[in-house]
Amino acid sequence: MKILVTGGAGFIASQIADAYVRDGHEVHILDNLSTGFEKNINPKAHLIKSDISSPAILDLFAKEKFDVVNHHAAQIDVRKSVNDPIFDANTNILGTINLLQSCIKTGVKKFMFASTGGAVYGEQEYFPADEKHPTNPISPYGITKLTIEKYLYFYKNEYGLNHTILRYANVYGPRQNPFGEAGVVAIFTSKLLKNENPIINGEGKQTRDYVFVEDVVKANVITLNDENSDIYNVGTNVETSVNELFAKLNEIAGDKASEKHGPAPKGEQARSVITSEKLLKKFNWKPWIHIDEGLRKTFDYFNSKI
């Protein structure tokens, strides 16, 4: 198949592109390189330096005739979405609609979308959340992701464009950017390797479901040929607090740092954990990498880059 991976120079999507290349697909990567890196791009993939909001996207789609679009390009920082919701909406909603319009005009068969299994649910009513959990996002980031999901439902009903929505838990692993505000594992790891003390936001009791990037890649591979338009959670069913996460990473680093706390940020949930039972039953997907193994793999990766 001919697949366009948006955001394919970034942390998650570059590894998905790698997997698609290994499976023999023709892979094109669309990335403006604002947060992604050319070094992440598979040498067998075709890089298109452009933005998802560009008017030239339609010409690109008309020329290449993609079979599938795997859409990961996005503004991913929850805190930035709170501080600048207009930028968040312009990027995540209008940019995606630009892609969708190009899809229906050029015969794209399927649209795969990286949504969020934490932010779309908001403060959970039960734990872990399944795909039927009420969606009450408390951040503009979560709102934009949910909005795109609704647009995909519209494009399926109006134009027959099939879709797969993957609601990720908190993804971590090699290639994660340690210099932004998102990605606590990469940020903590980078600080520890520099012999700096990470700062835990708030009390550190807030919990997240941390899923290793290799498992997320597998979810994108096994759902590629799914002909049903559906939504799947991609998580581990395990809660880990930020304090626990710090302790695990600090132990790997040799217990050199101490637990230090800073102000609590706005727009963040207290608890977040999802179940991937639906993905397990349909595709036999499960999180193969336990968090202790995943953190060690991540730490070793960043250590090798020093």
Q: Is the pTM of this model over 0.95?
A: yes
The model's pLDDT over 145-173, given as tens digits with 9 standing for 90+, comes to: 999 999 999 999 999 999 999 999 999 99
Kindly list the structural domains of the chain, giving each domain's residue range(s) and its CATH number in brackets, ordered by start: 2-171+211-234 (3.40.50.720), 174-208+238-304 (3.90.25.10)
DSSP string for 133-148: S----SSHHHHHHHHH
Amino acid in position 228: N
Query: Is the distance from CB of 207 to CB of 95 less than 8 angstroms?
Result: no
Whether pLDDT at 179 is above 80: no
Q: Of 78, 129, 82, nearest to 272 (Cα)? A: 129
For the chain, what percentages of helix, strand and coil (3-state, to nearest 5) are there? 40, 20, 40
Ramachandran bin of 48, using left for φ above 0, alpha for ψ from -120 to 50, beta for the remaining angles: beta
Separation of alpha carbons 93 and 89, rounded Å: 5
**pLDDT at position 91, please?**
95
The model's pLDDT over 20-76, given as tens digits with 9 standing for 90+, comes to: 999 999 999 999 999 999 999 999 999 999 999 999 999 999 999 999 999 999 998
Whether pLDDT at 274 is above 90: yes
Neighbours of 206 (CB within 10 A): 19
| Residue in 20, 121, 141, 155 annotated catalytic | 141
Whether pLDDT at 277 is above 90: yes
**pLDDT at position 76, please?**
83
**pLDDT at position 112, please?**
99
**pLDDT at position 162, please?**
98
| Known catalytic membership, residue 141 | yes
DSSP-derived 3-state class of residue 47: strand
**pLDDT at position 267, please?**
64
**pLDDT at position 78, please?**
82
**pLDDT at position 265, please?**
81
Q: Is 78 or 116 the better-scoring residue by pLDDT?
A: 116
**pLDDT at position 268, please?**
76
pLDDT band for position 306 (cuts 50, 70, 90): confident
Whether pLDDT at 289 is above 90: yes
The model's pLDDT over 67-77, given as tens digits with 9 standing for 90+, comes to: 999 999 999 88
**pLDDT at position 20, please?**
99
Average pLDDT on 242-250 reads 98
* Phi–psi pair at 252, nearest 5 degrees: -60, -40
- Strands 110-116 and 240-241, bridge-based pairing: unpaired
Neighbours of 94 (CB within 10 A): 12
Which range has the worst mean pLDDT, 11-20, 75-84, 205-214? 75-84
Separation of alpha carbons 105 and 119, rounded Å: 31
**pLDDT at position 259, please?**
97
The model's pLDDT over 94-136, given as tens digits with 9 standing for 90+, comes to: 999 999 999 999 999 999 999 999 899 999 999 999 999 999 9
